[in-house]
Each structure stands twice: as C-alpha cells, then as structure tokens.
Structure 1
Amino acid sequence: MTWTLGQLRTFVAVAELGSMTRAADHLGYSVGAVSQHIAALRKVVDSELFVRRGRGLILAEAGRTLLPRARNILAAQKQAEMAMLGRDFRSEAIVTLGVFGSASMTALPQVVHRLAQRHPHIEVRAREINVESMSAAVIDGVIDLGIGINYPAVPLPPMRGLSWEAVAKEDFGIVVPTGRPRPGETELAEADWILPPAEELFGRAMRLATSALGINAKETHIVTDTAVALALAGTGLGLTLATPIMMSLSGPDVDLHPVAEAGGREIIVLTSPDPSDPVSAVAAVIAEVFV
C-alpha cells in the first residue's frame, strides 16, 4: 500500500471532526483537497473509510481499523522530526479523550497537568462529544476513551466493544436562585420546571428523579444545554436538578440544595475492553482526579 502522510493527516482530521468541511478549516485546505485526499486513500485501502450519518461522517469498519494506526504513524513522523532537530524526547503516544461540558471544566486541566508530571510521553487531545454519543464514539474508534455518565435509575446496557468503570458518584440537588430556601413539597409540585428532552437519557433520569421526590413535574421549559438550564433557574424561571459537578457550569446566581432521595449519577470512564497502555494510564489519572 502506498499512502502519504498528508492523506493520513487529512483522514485523521475528518475522523475526529466528523466533516470534510470542518477538517478543511482545521487543516487550512480546501474542501476539494480534503475530498481528493480521502478518495485517494480509499483507493489505496480498497475499502470505504466513512459512511454518512445525517449531515456528518462516521467511520466505516476499515476506517475504525486504520484510525489508531494512522495516529501512530503521524506520531512516529513527529518523533523523527524531533530527532533530526537534535531535541531530547521520549517515545510519544497520542491519546484522544472524549469530554463533555462539566467534565471539561472539572477534570481536563487536572488530567493534563498530572499526565505531564507522570507520563510526559503521553499527549492527550480532548474532543468534545455529546455525552449521549460517548459510548458510540469509543466503539467506533473516534476517541480512545471517554468520560461519560451512567444513571443508576436508567443504567447503560452492556455493549459489545465497550468497557466502563465508575470513578465518582454524586446526588442530584434542586437548583434555585441564590439565597432562596429549599422548596417544600407543595412548591415543588406547583413550580415550573426546566428539564432536558424526554427522549434523552438525561431527560429520562431527571423525570425519574422528580418522580422520586413525589411530584409530577410541570415541564415548562425543555432545555438541552446544562449551562443554559442553570442560567434560567438563576433568573427564577423555574426549578431544575443538578449535581455538584454540573454546578461548575453555573454562575454565582444559583444555589444547590441536595436531595438524596432524588437519586444521582455516576461519572464513568469508557474504553475498549483491551485498551493500550497509554489509554490505561490516562484512565487511571482520570479516576484519581474524580476521587
């Protein structure tokens, strides 16, 4: 097989960004050039590398096989450049970590800092992934591992090609404007509520949590983004539920009143069943950060 580093670099960018347009912007190429690179690489491997899902692209089976190896080839090329420049370096491993909003705010800076101290040869590249899609991103090889969520009330089903471990547990609490006391049962039942869409895992877990409080929540505002839901709660437009880690996305205008009876969630680390040593090292550091 004969491919070029440019083709592999383009392939990795499309795989990680899910779009030829976004890959072109990232690499400074035209969309036509990206398309030509992918077409040439597809001809070399004699297999489809991507399949279309909605408006984006996801890896086909051949693409999932090629992605980690393409990353290794590009890392080796970078090491060769460093050697020719006479720089000191250790064998470098690139690990792509899937993150979502509150996990990014809470864990990512500490993970990168600790890895730099303990494993300077491991480079972590974060990629924001919708938490609902984190499992599929690991299975499809888009990321090497991901920080995800499991709700004991709506547990993740076993999935082939996926392994996960809980690294933290936290309870839901009621979010109210700063200084306001914890709402009583009558106020909870009569209040407007800010909830995620019911078709999302988070939405189902939130509705079970409000039911555990003994109320049938009035779903006034349906909001996907946690930061937006917290901001709306701060203006007094309604109540919502959150956890301490979720509150990292809030401003100073809201308070969290713990309610253990509402249940909670687990922060989990998702990997393949047989992760590489660098991936395992990153997973171990993530577990430490959330302790």
Structure 2
Amino acid sequence: MYTVAHLKSFKSVALTGSVRSAAQHLGLSPSAVSHHLKLLEQETGLTLFQRQGRGLCLTDTGSAIMPDVDSVLESSGRLGQCIADLHENRIGYLSIGYFATAGTRWLPELVAYLENRHPDVTVQLNLAEGPWTEFPSDLHVVISEKKNPEFPQQVKSHFLTEDPYVVAVPEDHPLSSREEVSLGELESHSWIDNDTADGPCRKILFDACSRAGVRVHFKHEAHSFVTALHMVSRGLGLTILPRLGVEPLTPGVTIIRLTAPEPIRFIHAICDPGHPQQELIEDAVTALRELATS
C-alpha cells in the first residue's frame, strides 16, 4: 500500500521534473524516490509520469490526481503539527503571523488583550511579509487584492477591514491643499517606491495604475513605508501607500486620498479550521476585527 512518503516523492518529482532534484529536496536517495514512484504506479495501476527530454513530467492521469495528493499531504501535515503541539504542550501557546503595518497598529493591543483574557497563553509574533502559502503560524493576518479571495478549502478566513491607498506629499507641495487627487494627476511628479518587487501592496498599486493608464516610474527606491515617508518630508518626491502604513504620520508630510481608481488592499485573518486551539483563535480574531475597525 502506498504511504504519505510515496505521495511526497510523487509531488516533489512533479514539481521539480527530476528524481535527483526531488531526492535532494526530500533528503532521500534517488533510488528511494524512484522506488516510491514505482510502488505508487503499481498500487494505482496508473502511468503517472512520462519522459520529457532529460526529465519527467506528469501524464494527464498524474495531473488528474495531483489535487487529491495535495489534499492528503496537507491533511497529513496538519495532523503532524497537531501531534507535535500536543507533545510539546503547545495548547497554551499561540503563534501569529503578521505583516509590518498590522504589527505596528494592532499586534501590541492584541497581545495585551490575550494576556488579560488568557493569562496562561504564550504568544509568539512572526513577521511574515509577502503572499501566504502555508501555516507556519497558528493565525495569520494577510493582505489580499479582493474582499472575497478564493482561499483553499482547508483555510478558514475572516475579513477584517479594507485599507485604501493614499498619496503622501511634502507639506509645501502644490497638491498638499487638495482633499483628493487622481492617479493620473500624479504621473508627472517624482515617485518614491516603498515596497519590494514582489510585494502584494506594490502589485495592487501597479494594477490600479494600469487601469488608470498611468505609467509607473520611480525616481527613488526605499522598500520601506517609514523610510519613504521620511524621504517625502525632505522634498524628494511623493509616495503612494496604504492608509494603515502612514501612522504615525511623519512631520512635514501631508496625506491625500486617491481616486480614479482608488487602490484598496483587503486584510484578512486566516487559520486552519482543524487547529486544536480554535476557541482561542476565534477570540483573537474577534479582537483583531475590533482593532481593525476602530
């Protein structure tokens, strides 16, 4: 009978296209991975891979079972984590993944709330910028481009708030007296970048600029909201960022609402619905929602 180990070898070869690369990734010998694939094909009676040049690629049959293989491996991972938690007595422990601006605004208050409500619980905060992919923490505060994104079935999501973008300009800038400004009006000014190349916030801005027909051009790059805002205060240009990333407002900087179109990021709390501390997580989510809307 095939095992989880056989399924891991199957997925790793499917992703890497190579038995040798899969073996290195899994910490196994190439012969062990080849044996797993052989047993899996024997047990299922299916041809799962075919040669493509020097490597391997999935057959149509192999591609058809991949979603179910993913589901089994994810369930196995959650079970393993639950067992590890029980062994390590982590039932009085909560880890929370977060992005930087949520950490500044919400996380200290959230930990204080949990300390008061659950004094025996230890909280660990894990800075986790970028797109969500898995559950290294018990609860994650994440950014999405849509209010109702399609998370995988094994993910339970809670919408927290929407965070519209603003433009930060020097307080003596010609636009500083405006209550709102369109993206098109900003195109001729000097822009300061404030995010990483693959950051979700940057992608949301780029998509809005594309819809508005605005060419994105950065005079300077900072890759940090705080640094970019201080550069704005020195008159080096303007920067566009989510409203949550502005506070505390840097002296010498004015914030203006964006329109036509208005870039918005949506913030969610996500968790594993099978987590053994679901009651604690739900309490934390309730507190987060109140913090996000206050």
TM over 0.5: yes
Within a 5 Å distance, the mapping from 1:19-98 to structure 2 comes to 65-75=79-89, 93-98=92-97
CA distance in 2, matches of 1:200, 1:156: 17
* Aligned residue-pair number: 211
Q: Deviations over 1:114-166 (max 9, x none)?
A: 22222333332111111x14x2242xxx100111111239x744324323222
1:188 maps onto 2:186 in alignment? yes
CA distance in 2, matches of 1:224, 1:161: 33
1:158 maps onto 2:158 in alignment? no
* Deviation for aligned residue 1:187: 5.5
Relative distance call for 1:96 and 1:123 in structure 2 (3 A) is same
Aligned to 2:6: none
Normalising by the residue count of structure 2, what TM-score does the alignment of the two structures yield? 0.61
SS at match of 2:152: coil
Amino acid at match of 1:280: E
Aligned to 2:29: none
* Percent of residue pairs identical: 20
* Deviation for aligned residue 1:175: 0.8
Amino acid at match of 2:169: V
Amino acid at match of 1:169: E
Within a 5 Å distance, the mapping from 1:210-225 to structure 2 comes to 210-211=209-210, 215-225=214-224
Amino acid at match of 1:75: N
Aligned to 2:257: 258
CA distance in 2, matches of 1:156, 1:220: 33
Relative distance call for 1:197 and 1:126 in structure 2 (3 A) is closer
Q: Deviations over 1:169-228 (max 9, x none)?
A: 121111112343149667612112223355433222111233455532323334432222
Aligned to 1:136: 133
CA distance in 1, matches of 2:286, 2:207: 32
Contact map agreement 2:97 2:137 (CA 8 A) in 1: yes
Amino acid at match of 1:136: T
CA distance in 2, matches of 1:250, 1:63: 43
CA distance in 1, matches of 2:172, 2:106: 28
Contact map agreement 2:222 2:228 (CA 8 A) in 1: yes
CA distance in 2, matches of 1:167, 1:236: 35
Contact map agreement 1:169 1:266 (CA 8 A) in 2: yes
- Provide the alpha-carbon RMSD of the alignment: 3.0
Relative distance call for 1:123 and 1:284 in structure 2 (3 A) is farther
Q: Deviations over 1:20-43 (max 9, x none)?
A: xxxxxxxxxxxxxxxxxxxxxxxx
CA distance in 2, matches of 1:282, 1:95: 10
CA distance in 2, matches of 1:156, 1:221: 32
Amino acid at match of 2:287: V
1:289 maps onto 2:291 in alignment? yes
Contact map agreement 1:164 1:268 (CA 8 A) in 2: yes
Within a 5 Å distance, the mapping from 1:9-28 to structure 2 comes to none
1:147 maps onto 2:161 in alignment? no
* Deviation for aligned residue 1:66: 3.5
171-180 vs 60-69, which deviates more? 60-69
Contact map agreement 2:205 2:263 (CA 8 A) in 1: no
Contact map agreement 2:140 2:270 (CA 8 A) in 1: yes
* Deviation for aligned residue 1:281: 1.8
CA distance in 2, matches of 1:72, 1:255: 51
Amino acid at match of 2:271: T
* Deviation for aligned residue 1:246: 0.6
Aligned to 1:229: 228
CA distance in 2, matches of 1:110, 1:234: 29
CA distance in 1, matches of 2:105, 2:241: 15
SS at match of 2:124: strand
Relative distance call for 1:172 and 1:269 in structure 2 (3 A) is same
Amino acid at match of 2:254: D
Relative distance call for 1:156 and 1:202 in structure 2 (3 A) is farther
Contact map agreement 1:95 1:144 (CA 8 A) in 2: yes
Q: Deviations over 1:215-271 (max 9, x none)?
A: 323233344322222222222222221232111265323221112442311221011
* Gaps in structure 2 of 5+ consecutive residues: 1-72
Relative distance call for 1:63 and 1:211 in structure 2 (3 A) is closer
Relative distance call for 1:236 and 1:214 in structure 2 (3 A) is farther
Larger radius of gyration: 2
Contact map agreement 1:72 1:93 (CA 8 A) in 2: no
